[in-house]
Structure 1
Amino acid sequence: MSKSAAILFVHNEVDTIGWWLAHHATIGFSTLIVCDDHSTDGTAAALSNAATLYDIRVHSSDTTLPERLDRQTRFHEMALEQGRNEFDWMMILAADEYLHFETARSVAEFTAAASASMLPVNWCLFGSSGRTVPSPFSPVETFTRHGLLSLPDHRVVRYLVQPRRIGNTLPDPFSALERNATWSDSRILHFAAGDHESFLRRNSSATPDKAWQNFDRNDAEYTGASRWLPESRRIASSIVQASLTDLYWRLKATVTHADRAVLQDLGLTPAQLSAPSSRRTPPQFHFCMLGQTKQLMRDMQMGYLVSVGAGEMNFGRYNPLIMALEVSDGDVWNACLFTENPLPGRYLSLPGSPTLLPMVPLHVMIAENTVLSPVSGEEIRIAIPGHALSKIDATTALYTRMTSFMVLTAEGHGLADLLRGIDRLPAPDASALGCAIAMLDPEDAERLAQTFPGLIPRSLMPVRPPQP
């Protein structure tokens, strides 16, 4: 069977590196060879955790070379040289470049009939789609508008190459500028603009506004790459949960050893970890089904949510959704949404929620009967039959599903409360920890993310909750 590898040189791309890895694993690269250029934002930690799940070979750049371009060139040469006897096809890409096939289902299928040793794939320059701030969703989902085919930048190419046949010369992205671009069978989704805030942060141009105008192309819409999203989300969810498991063990060590340096970074003291709970009684939870005469369920065959009546019930196919609401005196209640029976996949797909966990954290506005994402602050439009929640008995099975979350949040939703919960939780539960983080005060979550860079994805970072 054909073996292939994507090659990436990366610096400070923690917000999107998981999506890049997930996408290129999805389209069929056997191996991902990544060089981290001594990132300071947690990219290295994200890569390390991802490499425990897939064939991702992580390198560090050669710091004896003072110029980043020289370090990148040396890595590219090394990767192609070392891959010559292992891989049939290899491709050099950047962190904002996503290979896409129009009809082929994988790298192997795309290259199967190739006679040439180098297959050029043209850029397709995507703009911001009007987005100004970073998104927790995949770039493929977030940015769907691009420049017209006639744009000169689209003549830039990336090459799928046969390393045994190309010699020692690196593929030149500017070698086809005299030829018209084509997207008939493939394209490089080039998210060079991204959102405006991220673009300005990473762009070192003396004229960033001019560079932004060049890259922010939104002339036409394209959603063909969305076909990769279900699998790339599944892979990305595995990476997210591996990082959360790593975070659990690091927090466990911090609490166990009362690590003063780490606690100081978190704005805490050892005394706060041993302080009694400010809560007089443990929180109470209401368990609800979504709907009355009909119930909202996950269709396990089709993978989406459907309303099912009592006469249509088929428990081999339909998995009921349960909402656990944390009782509060205020108008905003924390809630977790999960399926009654554990999912065989890695996460519960809910339109509008970016969290990629089997349990979805939510904020419920009780008076308005509105459900919001604590991460985006935006409304989650769940089609609850009859717009009603039906309270059900709190069975042992339901409490078991919620035990880890209840342990983590038993004393409240502050950072010290979370660490005391970590101390009591005997084993990692990535889903429960992710939900607890999403319900932290945003300032607490930011301190946690800065202290443990790369372990908390943007898809779990909370926004400030709405005021009653």
Structure 2
Amino acid sequence: MTTVACVLFVKNECTDIAGWIAWHLALGVDRLFIYEDHSTDGTWEVLEAAARVAPITLLRTDPATQPDFYWRQRDAFMDAARRARGVYDWLGFLDGDEYVYPRHFDRIGDFLAQFPDAWAVALNWRIHGNSGRVVRPREMAVETFLSHGTESLGDNVLVKSFVRPEHLGPNYTDPHRYDIPEERYVDARGARVQWTGATKAIDWRDAFVLHFVCRSMEQYIQRIRRRLNADLGDSTAYWDHFNRNDVEDREPLRLMPAVYPVLGRIYTAMLDAASIRLHAVARVMRDDPLLAAALLDRPDLRTPSIDGRSQTSVRTVVLRTHHDTLLCLGGNRIVRDATLDGLAGVVPVLGAIHASTPDLITVFAADRGPLHLPGDSRHLDEPLLRIVPASQPGRFFLRSTHAGRYLAATPGSNDSGVACDRGRADLWEEFRLEPIQSTVTLGLSAIPAPVNAQGATLLDLCAWAQTLQTPPRRGDFLRALANLSPIERERLDHLIPGLLLPFL
């Protein structure tokens, strides 16, 4: 089996780094060497969490020893080549806005196995535009920015390379072309590369590198702010040049079913890391009120709005659709069934509602296996939804707590049409929540109750965490986050950078 590693030199890619990791691991990359260049946006924290559940060798650069960004990248890449030598057959050199895509293979190792005599493979960029998006999307770049420019955009002649590390020479020129003899450098079709500097003729027929230069307008502005007067200027020229949306291509989306489970594991690790950090910060605050006041930006430490009543009951329900069918899990998909035993091999989808949060429901599979809710960008095994009363008594809409999208069961075949992706609610989004007696439930606990319609505060959240002997469990933590007001969510993101981005 052909083994493949990739190396990434990264700084301030908090919004997309989890998706980048998930994409390449789902593509069959065996090891990621990630060199983090002292980010300020939470990228390091996300990487630390991801490294707990993924094959990542995480290292940090040393700007004191090497102050030049360009040469720090060189040092990182060459160090990764040294580490990969004798361990992996191939090593790919990528940036955080680049996603390799072999068109006719599901695994990058199978693609590279076509070239037994090559020592390096060069793949052209395919630069994508913003696909009309202004605000940063919650979804991955690959599934959002589907439109790209044509071959008339000359920058697509640039390449990224996969090399055999044992044959890599000592010289470094740029992050595109490497020190490999020309007769051993091939393109995606196995032909010898005809070089013009670090570029070659554009060829997207077999493989290429999806290059998301601009992404959304919000992300582009953030990028300009970070790099202003370094390598970018206060101008729309860069945007106008690269933001090409001439052709839409949905073909790479075929790999997303393999990506989502990996992304879900990373997001779960991020949630757990945030829970641990909140618990640690809260306990420090308990012992140092002045620090608490400084961190929470509060002139006073008033009594938090934790509901002290005894609320320990959890109600378990089934979800009955407007079509009078029940949601069940069949294989890896949510399906609809008229009865709980009407189809062989299905598992009921249940909901847990805790008395302290009667407007929130945690959805889970009766066998406690993973339940992926299509359209929910959090990709959690047990997603949280908000219960919204419908106009008809006893019927409810179920809305995602982070993106405001509604769960829908649309007409059609039994195994399709269930997704949490609707912008508004109508009949197909209506559900009845029918209590059942079940031996399977979730261990949910009481959480802070908001004192008003604006929601709970960060102070409430920290005070609640102080009462716990261990970090909050996932289900409880998600419910507590859902109760925070919008402005308090922003403040929490500053207190715990990066880790909670998918959930707030």
Shorter-chain-normalised TM-score: which range?
0.7 to 0.9
- Residue 308 of structure 1: aligned partner: 337
CA distance in 2, matches of 1:396, 1:2: 48
SS of aligned partner of 2:262: helix
Letter in 2 for 1:291: T
SS of aligned partner of 1:450: helix
Answer yes or no: is 1:432 the counterpart of 2:476: yes
- Change in Cα spacing, 1:93 to 1:148, as seen in structure 2 (3 Å) is same
1:403-442 → structure 2 map (5 Å cutoff): 403-404=443-444, 406-409=445-448, 413-422=456-465, 423-424=467-468, 426=470, 428-442=472-486
- Residue 190 of structure 2: aligned partner: none
- Change in Cα spacing, 1:373 to 1:262, as seen in structure 2 (3 Å) is same
TM-score calculated relative to the size of structure 2: 0.80
- Residue 356 of structure 1: aligned partner: 379
Q: Is the 8 A contact 2:11 2:38 kept in 1?
A: yes
Mean Cα displacement is larger for which, 48-57 or 91-100? 48-57
Q: How much has 1:447 moved relative to structure 2?
A: 1.3
Letter in 1 for 2:262: I
SS of aligned partner of 1:140: helix
- Change in Cα spacing, 1:397 to 1:214, as seen in structure 2 (3 Å) is farther
Q: Is the 8 A contact 1:357 1:431 kept in 2?
A: no
Q: How much has 1:288 moved relative to structure 2?
A: 5.0
Q: Is the 8 A contact 1:6 1:91 kept in 2?
A: yes
2:121 to 114, 119, 122: 119
Q: How much has 1:395 moved relative to structure 2?
A: 4.2
After superposition, what is the alpha-carbon deviation per residue over 1:48-72, rounded to whole angstroms, capped at 9, x for unaligned? 1111112211111121222211211
Q: Is the 8 A contact 1:42 1:453 kept in 2?
A: yes
1:190 to 211, 214, 228: 211
Q: Is the 8 A contact 2:123 2:160 kept in 1?
A: yes
Answer yes or no: is 1:392 the counterpart of 2:434: yes
Answer yes or no: is 1:299 the counterpart of 2:329: yes
Long gaps (5+) in structure 1: 462-468
Q: Is the 8 A contact 1:409 1:417 kept in 2?
A: yes
Q: Is the 8 A contact 2:319 2:327 kept in 1?
A: no
CA distance in 2, matches of 1:216, 1:106: 29
After superposition, what is the alpha-carbon deviation per residue over 1:183-206, rounded to whole angstroms, capped at 9, x for unaligned? 121110111110011112112322
1:290 to 305, 320, 324: 320
- Residue 279 of structure 2: aligned partner: 252
2:151 to 127, 149, 164: 149
Answer yes or no: is 1:70 the counterpart of 2:75: no
- Change in Cα spacing, 1:435 to 1:183, as seen in structure 2 (3 Å) is farther
Q: How much has 1:354 moved relative to structure 2?
A: 1.5
After superposition, what is the alpha-carbon deviation per residue over 1:96-117, rounded to whole angstroms, capped at 9, x for unaligned? 0001111112121111120211
1:162 to 161, 164, 180: 164
SS of aligned partner of 1:116: coil
RMSD: 3.0
Q: Alignment identity in percent?
A: 25
TM-score calculated relative to the size of structure 1: 0.86
- Change in Cα spacing, 1:202 to 1:292, as seen in structure 2 (3 Å) is closer
After superposition, what is the alpha-carbon deviation per residue over 1:117-149, rounded to whole angstroms, capped at 9, x for unaligned? 111111111111111111111111111111113
Letter in 2 for 1:34: I
CA distance in 1, matches of 2:54, 2:110: 21
Q: Is the 8 A contact 1:334 1:439 kept in 2?
A: no
Matched length: 449
2:502 to 439, 442, 459: 459
- Residue 52 of structure 2: aligned partner: 52
Q: How much has 1:293 moved relative to structure 2?
A: 6.6
CA distance in 2, matches of 1:356, 1:311: 25
- Residue 465 of structure 1: aligned partner: none
CA distance in 2, matches of 1:44, 1:387: 39
SS of aligned partner of 1:362: strand
Q: Is the 8 A contact 1:262 1:451 kept in 2?
A: no
Q: How much has 1:280 moved relative to structure 2?
A: 6.5
